[in-house]
Chains A and B, each alone.
Chain A
């Protein structure tokens, strides 16, 4: 191989004079990465035979090839124990940067299958990605449930179908969810308002814990979740994909059909159509059915993109529509109802199985339309523009005597319509030497109207923000810094004592973040630090009313000020000879003026009885936590994985632990390869998890004590099998094998009923090639 390179080098020299005449001053910077471990590979020979140029990679897996002519050329990468990699790449003027993933030879593979979401190497930040198999085995689950695969992320739920992620103890307005690059804007302030996202759109879901990056917004105190579809540019030929799954508990099904394509004659034009249907009936605990716990969801999306040279434009539209029944036993009139429900051995209001969605229920409709355009110029950089419009209609129906209309139907008790427009403009200059940067602006115009009872006021909000990030790397060291400014302005209208009042609020602030990465042999260190802020949301300022599922009377405080977080985290991830791999993180998040619901006296007296009163108040909190995960190859066919996390969230002013924070959880799984030959493989996975009791919270801080610790067992078969030149993926499993009776601290329904019992599920994913096409080089 070295001889080959020497030859190439000689020819390079011979051709030197010739190259100078032509437009042959381009450089190619390659990073060669092991596809399994994500680590750079040393001593890879990379060369372009048509140009007779090549080089070797350094310890970091990086190399530069200079004096290249522009055009489409074949690139070959060779390494002793990796498979040879050939691809056609486009060399443009100036500096070309590319990452090449190489896979180990199968005969030397003693690597490990990494379970769960794993570290993504490229970023200075610590990013966890759920994709491929991990994403497949979470199909049909809610977003919150799927993200539980990421260590330190929990699921805040209200029953089975309403759930949202909690990242390091924070959720709702403190976690930013980006759906296809757009900030998801629903009524996300509510604990029982789940993100309106069709997971079948996603090709990958990324989680960035904490405020490691402020590129997407300054209100990322808890973290960012990025739901990303497969890029349209990657579509080849015409293809379809059928995903379907059924579950025994709730007799649920979830199916999705996707068709996408690109025509040979219109190489630049790509399109995609996708639709999803989900249905579930009453769920069953280990002993009884939960009355009125079904759901139905129907979504579709369409995308079309056109690409020519450096110009790219995409249109995207999605429609999300769901009806979610609210567990009958959780809708309570007042506090004595709550105690009665809690003390009952099983819900007084029981039922058998039905798909029927009865009152009370939620009906949510979410539409997103987006246009994005980017323009890449060789000696300039990349300019990107996005405009998006979101329309969110949320109706919550209660079987309440005052909601009954003369015709016998019920009008929604809560009814909101939220319209949001987003603008994004960013510019990424052409990378200079070892620097990469981005500058951008975001704008948002939003209006909320309510038609049912008052809970939050009407408002018109506009925000504008600008950011700058710079990334610099030198060998094993990389540094990223970011700076952001946001201005947030809104007006509200509400009735007070029969008078319509109009108030204005304006908040602004700076956010900054810095991330450092240093790579030692086998070990990579990530150090992150930053400060960011969040403006109070309308519900924290103006909510006023009885929250039925919570049996509480909630009162906002229009004088609260923005909260500010100061956070730091240290992550060490290691990979020793692909035999043991893992990561350990320590983090601390200090939040000044943390806005929190606090019980106040006296209870609010209503005709329905007394309700404990909660008011939004501010305090200073400190959240310290630890997360770890280790994967070890016990044998070539057996891999063990262990992970766990712990969070201590303290209210410093009151000297007590915070209510509603996730309890510690430890989880282990064993992955046994039953069969492996060519592209066919069958895995058997056994998973056990132990969730502690949330013992930190004082008993007086809650109506009822926190539920006890619980242990769950799950096992599944996962197979990839070639049928008719397509790799079909299948999954058969059982969750809660022991049919354990338990209640989860983070499920609002823990006051009323047990969690679901045993569940048997089957999932299948079938790709279908309708027409093939020769590969198009897009680099």
Chain B
């Protein structure tokens, strides 16, 4: 039983040394406040602004807004795009970070990096065709500004996608990854 005695003696020494070291180091513990995700830059809002090229129909603004970013609460606003039939609209897209005050305009950054970005529009069951009207330094379309041609009355959807195509932009939508991908309800009245 010599062994047990030795073990118990050593255990005692071990435990006390340990307790001392732990006590010493735990005193120095500092707690750092993590960065508030609300202060991080986010794309919270997309704003589509339409003006009739003929100046007859009233202007339309459709908004998607999710201030708390990914997950959490559902989007607080997600408008249906309501356009008049047989009209040509000038469309302008604004991307905002509404979690900040004042809101940060992310679309300015898209414009700065226009050669790496492309908006793509895919209508479904509605008679709307979209033509991008702005160009980047390589003479490729961007899509922050566009012309929307509406046809007959119909109800369907319009998918708005912002593709991020670093150094690989060719004008095709398939390349790259999506920074924005939203399917709006769309009504041509």
> Which A residues contact B (CB, under 8 angstroms)?
331-334, 336-337, 340, 348-349, 359, 380-381, 383, 385, 387, 399-402, 404, 421, 423, 425-427, 429-430, 432, 435, 437, 439-441, 443, 445, 447, 449-454, 457-458, 460, 462, 464, 468, 491, 493-495, 498, 500, 544-546, 553, 555, 604-609, 611
Contact = CB atoms under 8 A, between A and B. Distances in A.
Contact of B22 (A349, A451, A464): A464
B68 to A, nearest CB: 8
B181 interface: yes
Given A401-B164, A607-B182, A608-B180, A460 B31 contact: yes
A interface: dominant SS: strand
A642 to B, nearest CB: 45
Nearest to B104: A402
B34 A450 contact: yes
Contacts of B21: 387, 423, 443
A539 to B, nearest CB: 15
B181 A349 contact: no
Contacts of A432: 2-3
Interface stretch (B51-59, B106-114, B136-144): B106-114
Contacts of A336: 178, 181
A327 B25 CA distance: 42
Given A439-B11, A545-B70, A500 B33 contact: yes
B32 A546 contact: no
Interface stretch (B38-46, B123-131, B146-154): B38-46
A607 B46 contact: yes
Contacts of A605: 66, 74-75
B171 to A, nearest CB: 13
Given A423-B18, A447-B32, A608-B178, 12 more contacts: A333-B178, A401-B106, A426-B14, A430-B6, A439-B7, A441-B14, A453-B40, A493-B31, A498-B38, A604-B70, A604-B71, A607-B181
Interface of B: 2-3, 6-7, 10-11, 14-15, 17-18, 21-22, 25-26, 29-38, 40-44, 46, 64, 66, 69-71, 74-75, 97, 106, 109-110, 113, 117, 164, 166, 168, 174-182
B14 to A, nearest CB: 5
Contacts of A440: 14
Contacts of A401: 43, 106, 109-110, 113, 117, 164, 179
Nearest to B15: A441
A399 B38 CA distance: 21
A450 B164 CA distance: 26
B71 A449 contact: no
**Which of B17, B21, B69, B178 has the most CB atoms of chain A within a 10 A radius of its CB?**
B178
Nearest to A341: B177
Contacts of B10: 381, 383, 427, 429, 439
B164 A333 contact: yes
B3 A333 contact: no
Contacts of A609: 178, 181-182
A777 to B, nearest CB: 27
Contacts of A427: 7, 10-11, 14
A402 B69 CA distance: 12
Q: DSSP majority for the B interface?
A: mixed
Given A460-B29, A606-B70, A606-B71, A437 B37 contact: no
Nearest to B106: A401
B34 A493 contact: yes
Contacts of B7: 427, 429, 437, 439, 468
A495 B174 CA distance: 37
Contact of A607 (B26, B44, B110): B44
B179 A544 contact: no
Contacts of A555: 71
29 contacts: A334-B178, A336-B178, A337-B177, A340-B174, A348-B174, A399-B164, A401-B43, A401-B110, A401-B113, A401-B164, A425-B14, A425-B17, A429-B7, A439-B7, A441-B18, A445-B25, A445-B26, A447-B32, A449-B34, A450-B34, A451-B35, A458-B34, A493-B31, A545-B71, A553-B70, A555-B71, A607-B180, A608-B178, A611-B70
Contacts of A383: 10
B175 A349 contact: yes
A443 B180 contact: no
Contacts of B14: 425-427, 439-441
A452 B22 CA distance: 31
Contacts of B40: 402, 453
A458 B32 contact: yes
Given A359-B166, A493-B31, A498-B38, A553 B174 contact: no
A453 B166 CA distance: 21
Contacts of A449: 32, 34
Contact of A435 (B3, B70, B109, B176): B3
A450 B35 contact: yes
A437 B4 CA distance: 10
B66 A606 contact: yes
A421 B25 contact: yes
A348 B181 CA distance: 19
B98 to A, nearest CB: 11
Contacts of A435: 3
Given A383-B10, A445-B29, A425 B18 contact: yes
A163 B25 CA distance: 34
A349 B17 CA distance: 59
B177 A331 contact: yes
A454 B37 contact: yes
A348 B25 CA distance: 53
A421 B166 CA distance: 41
A599 to B, nearest CB: 15
Nearest to A604: B71
A734 to B, nearest CB: 33
B34 A495 contact: yes
A440 B7 CA distance: 10
